[in-house]
Amino acid sequence: MLPIERIEAIPARVPTIRPHHLSFATVDAMDVVIVRVTAGGIEGYGEASTIGGPRWGEESPEGIAAIAGHYLAEVMLGQDAMALNAAEDRIARAVRGNYFAKAALCMAIHDVVARAKGMRLADLLGGPLSTALPLAWTLASGDTARDIEEGERMLGLRRHRDFKLKIGAKAPEVDVAHVSAIARAFAGRASIRVDVNQAWDEPTAARWLPALSDAGVTMAEQPVAGWNVPAMARLQRANPRLAIMGDEGIATPQDAQRHVTEAACHAVALKPAKHGGVAGTRAVAAIARTAGLGLYGGTMLEGTIGTLASLHLYSTLGEYAWGTELFGPLLLRDSLATTAIEVRDFAIHLPEGPGIGTGLDADKLEHFRTDRRRTLVP
Ligand code: MUC
Ligand code: MG
């Protein structure tokens, strides 16, 4: 028995190393919410982040802090952290939706238990199938020449050889010219993917995806709105050389099942935040793998804590046809964790535990926090 004694959800804002341009926002700082759980005198950590506030999805930093630090804390205080399935079920039932908040608390509880047992989180989850996962980088400076320069640097450092380009904010012909120039610059040396973040309608996607494919792009993430599963299916059928990836449209296992039933994509971006924690991520991954869809270890650009939690979980789930993009900490100018992620030979490496394998830097959290601490003590 490891009773949960304290749950805190602390919002913080950490600047990025450069502006990150996406179709729906330009981000120069990341809003994260650190969830700190104390059980049996041991602390565990989880993290949720939003990209541009409630713009990538519905959840905001303020909402996540309120849901995790108040509504979910209310039902979890005094519960046994060791009873992980029961904890996750209780969290899932306590509140509708709010998957980011649920995932952050779920991760913190898993981290506490792993630390209490003196194990790596991945070992608590049954053990890793791989301790190093391929690591992509997003080129999104907003400038073609700067992106090429940045990509060359990443290749030289042997950090990344898979590049995702964020498009959809500019006219499609401008975007396609930008992507084509970068694909030409890295031809034979790096893979090029795009993420439209739902910005196109179906006719725009139908017109421009073939041009991207011809330019050498191998994967296109969420070209149309997440709800538009039939359009995803038509686009995938019309572009068989391109893997269309579901991201915003695939949060719940039911979403994943619908994409499978409608043959709406060839690849699925996993994100524990979208799926509400460990059980949801496992369910989505299982549906995708069963249907032969390629897995991608996605990110919400979390800092080190959320990134490591995802890495431990991803390492237990099987093969990643599209690798991972767990580069969030490398986009941030500072860190709320006491250790850095280990990146070499184009891969992110699983750290030794206990738990997620890093501590929380309390001074940094104090420095970057944006709100008063929300604490519920029984
Ligand atoms: C997204 O939609 O995939 C992941 C990498 C990145 O640059 O943005 C995110 C969000
Ligand atoms: Mg995406």
- Chain-wide mean pLDDT for the chain? 97
Which ligand gives the minimal distance to the CA of 26? 1
Token pair 């496992």 is at which residue? 282
Three-state secondary-structure class, residue 187: coil
- Residue pair 73/67 in contact (Cβ under 8 Å)? The answer is no
Selection from 106, 103, 126, 123 nearest residue 115 by Cα: 123
Given this model, what pLDDT does residue 378 score? 47
Structure tokens at 86: 């029961």
pLDDT in tens, 8-21: 999 999 999 999 99
Do strands 342-344 and 294-297 pair parallel, antiparallel, or not at all (unpaired)?
Answer: unpaired
Given this model, what pLDDT does residue 300 score? 98
Cα-to-centroid distance, 189 and ligand 2 (Å): 23
Which ligand gives the minimal distance to the CA of 22? 1
Ligand 1 within 6 A of CB of 50: no
Pocket test for ligand 1, best of 197, 271, 324, 332 (most atoms within 8 A of CB): 197
Query: Does 365 have pLDDT greater than 80?
Result: yes
Q: How many angstroms separate the CA atoms of 198 and 202, rounded?
A: 10
Given this model, what pLDDT does residue 246 score? 99
Q: How many angstroms separate the CA atoms of 197 and 205, rounded?
A: 12
- Residue pair 42/360 in contact (Cβ under 8 Å)? The answer is no
Ligand 1 within 6 A of CB of 8: no
When pLDDT is cut at 50, 70 and 90, the band that residue 353 belongs to is confident
When pLDDT is cut at 50, 70 and 90, the band that residue 185 belongs to is very high
Tell me what the mean pLDDT of segment 240-257 comes to: 98
- The H-assigned helical ranges of the chain are 61-66, 73-76, 84-94, 99-117, 121-124, 144-156, 172-185, 202-214, 229-238, 253-261, 272-275, 278-290, 304-315, 328-331, 362-368
| CA-closest residue to ligand 1 atom 9 | 300
Catalytic annotation present for 166: yes
Cα-to-centroid distance, 298 and ligand 1 (Å): 7
Ligand 1 within 6 A of CB of 195: yes
When pLDDT is cut at 50, 70 and 90, the band that residue 374 belongs to is very low
What is 4-119+362-370's CATH topology? Enolase-like; domain 1 (3.30.390)
Distances (CA, A) of 21 to 169, 197, 199: 8, 11, 13
State ipTM: 0.98
Q: Choosing from 102, 166, 271, 274, which is the catalytic residue?
A: 166
- Listing DSSP states for 279-290 in one string gives HHHHHHHHHHHH
Q: Choosing from 47, 59, 88, 325, which is the catalytic residue?
A: 325
- Residue pair 268/262 in contact (Cβ under 8 Å)? The answer is no
Provide the residue ranges of all domains of the chain, joining segments of one domain with +: 4-119+362-370, 124-349
Q: How many angstroms separate the CA atoms of 121 and 233, rounded?
A: 36
User: What is the CATH code of the structural domain delimited by 124-349?
Assistant: 3.20.20.120
pLDDT in tens, 302-340: 999 999 999 999 999 999 999 999 999 999 999 999 999
Given this model, what pLDDT does residue 372 score? 61
Ligand 1 within 6 A of CB of 301: yes
Q: How many angstroms separate the CA atoms of 268 and 260, rounded?
A: 10
